[in-house]
Amino acid sequence: MFKKILLSLIIISTHSIAEESSAIKNLNSIFGTTNIEKTPFKGVYEVIMQDPIQSFFVSADGQYLIQGDIIDLTTRQKMSNSGKVQQLKKSLLDSVKDKDKIIYPAKDEKYVVHVFTDVDCPFCKKLHAQMPKMNTLGITVKYLAAPLASLHPKAQGKMEKIWCAKDRKKAMHNYKAKNIMPNSDDCENPVTQQLLLSQQLGVNGTPAIFLSDGTHFPGYMPANRLLQAIKRTLGK
């Protein structure tokens, strides 16, 4: 009897694995080579796209796209698809070397945020005006370039000048606070590469703030509210 039960379980398990493999193969044929994972919701899979990085839930046959929240009625919690996306975003941000960023460090650093900025963006300038307060609160800010040509067609050239300045930090502040552009020579710079990175990360507006875990906060936030959001998100 025990052998029959064990054999039945093996058959069921093998059948389940075969179904899962078939579903993933089917979804790969629809969405292309990407990351597709099983979820706790039977018949529902998570599709994670790479460019831009995003994820969504679909039925195993690829016929239905699920919009809105999926609630686990046992735990009363949402089935979140943000964790894997955040990990991918974190890995991309971590791959950028500090020497290619413009960094405003906090003396008593508690948190680090990456901010994709456009020097001609009014709300980016407003955020930059909060820099002393953010640093005082223990927030180190690392700028990355995301000039939005559709809104500010001259921003990329200006940002390349800033990134080519001898003192990038001073040059960035002088332009954002005083509208003074550095007279720097052309050089190899990471502005275009960082712009492409911002697009892969799903940035479509600036400022775009990323926490150390990959969480993305779009838009301007004053220093105190940013600190509250960081603590709430990171749990510390």
C-alpha angle 150/157/184, rounded to 5°? 165
> Listing from the earlier edge strand, what are the strands of the sheet with 208-210?
102-104, 139-145, 111-117, 208-210, 216-218
> Listing from the earlier edge strand, what are the strands of the sheet with 53-59?
35-38, 44-50, 53-59, 65-66
Q: Name the more confident of 144 and 25.
A: 144
pLDDT at 27: 58
Place of tokens 């936030």: 221
The yes/no answer on whether domain 2-80 falls in CATH 1.10.8 is: no
C-alpha angle 45/216/219, rounded to 5°? 135
How is residue 178 written in tokens? 């005083």
Fold of the CATH domain 93-234: Glutaredoxin (3.40.30)
Q: Is residue 78 predicted with pLDDT exceeding 80?
A: no
Give 159-204 pLDDT, tens digit per residue: 999 999 999 999 999 999 999 999 999 999 999 999 999 999 999 9
pLDDT at 85: 80
Q: Would you kindly state where each structural domain of the chain is located, as residue ranges?
A: 2-80, 93-234
Question: Which region among 26-35, 63-72, 174-183 has the lowest average model confidence (pLDDT)?
Answer: 26-35
Closest among 85, 137, 132 to 111, alpha carbons compared? 137
Phi–psi pair at 78, nearest 5 degrees: -75, 140
pLDDT band at 231 (very low <50, low <70, confident <90, very high): very high
pLDDT at 82: 56
The residues near 120 (Cβ < 8 Å, ≥ 6 apart) are 147, 151, 152, 154, 155, 158
> Chain-wide mean pLDDT for the chain?
84
Distance CA 106, CA 225 (A): 17
pLDDT at 24: 55
Contacts for 157-160: CB closer than 8 Å, 24+ residues apart? 158/119, 158/120, 159/118, 159/119, 159/191, 160/186, 160/189, 160/191
| Cβ–Cβ < 8 Å for 184, 165 | yes
Integer angstrom CA distances of residue 148 from 67, 87, 166, 224: 29, 25, 24, 27
